[in-house]
């Protein structure tokens, strides 16, 4: 299968959130048929539709040959390795990995929607994605950098390395 670029949102707000985001970035390159190629800066954001401490967020870019569902399964396995529990929707989390894009793939199934259906509505995914791929066109939505104005009212703070 051909290599495609996948963008993965990384977030955490429990325990050593910053350490978990950093470690997750390292582990993403261990997925079969995948190479971790870039990671955005880290950002601090308040929870959206959730409770708990602020999140540390980033976006990673991977070159991968995995299918969308195989990549999703790999991301969920990594979450479990980091102690992710899902006691209720939008619960605080030790690690959250969201498949944001996979090449130009458009998918709408009960299990997975690509591009991620709320990607363009959330500064915590859109701002770090714009750092990596400002000219990326999200099918049906437009260029990532052009979508930033729509989240400009959301507080997001870029952290020093």
pLDDT tens digit string along 41-88? 999 998 877 778 899 999 999 999 999 999 999 999 999 898 876 656
- Annotated active-site residue 160? The verdict is no
Find residue 51's DSSP bridge partners: none
Packing angle between helix 68-81 and helix 17-28, nearest 10 degrees?
Answer: 140
What's the pLDDT score for residue 88?
62
- Annotated active-site residue 16? The verdict is no
Is the entire prediction scored with pTM above 0.85?
yes
What's the pLDDT score for residue 50?
72
What's the pLDDT score for residue 14?
86
- Annotated active-site residue 44? The verdict is no
Please identify which of the residues 63, 98, 158, 160 carries the catalytic annotation: 98
Please identify which of the residues 16, 84, 86, 122 carries the catalytic annotation: 84
pLDDT tens digit string along 93-141? 788 999 999 999 999 999 999 999 999 999 999 999 999 999 999 988 9
CB atoms within 10 A of CB 86: 10
- Confidence class for position 90, pLDDT limits 50, 70, 90: low
What's the pLDDT score for residue 86?
64
The residue among 90 and 81 whose pLDDT is bigger is 81
Alpha-carbon gap, residue 70 to 72, rounded angstroms: 5
Please identify which of the residues 54, 93, 108, 143 carries the catalytic annotation: 93
What's the pLDDT score for residue 93?
75
Please identify which of the residues 16, 96, 108, 118 carries the catalytic annotation: 96
**Per-residue exposure over 52-66, b if at least 16 CB sit within 10 Å of its own CB, e if not:** eeebbbbbbbbebeb
What's the pLDDT score for residue 121?
95
């Amino acid at each position: 299968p051909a290599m495609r670029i996948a963008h993965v949102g990384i977030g955490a707000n429990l325990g050593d959130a910053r350490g978990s985001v950093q470690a997750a970035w390292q582990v993403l390159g261990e997925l079969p048929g995948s190479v971790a190629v870039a990671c955005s800066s880290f950002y601090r954001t308040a929870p959206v539709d959730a409770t708990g401490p602020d999140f540390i967020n980033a976006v990673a870019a991977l070159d991968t040959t995995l299918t969308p569902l195989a990549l999703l399964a790999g991301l969920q396995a990594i979450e479990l390795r980091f102690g992710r529990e899902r006691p209720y929707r939008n619960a605080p989390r030790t690690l959250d990995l969201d498949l944001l894009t996979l090449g130009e793939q458009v998918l709408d199934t009960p299990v997975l929607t690509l591009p991620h259906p709320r990607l363009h509505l959330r500064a915590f995914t859109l701002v770090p994605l714009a750092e990596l791929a400002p000219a990326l066109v999200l099918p049906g939505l437009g260029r990532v950098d052009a979508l930033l104005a729509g989240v400009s009212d959301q507080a997001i703070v870029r952290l020093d390395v």
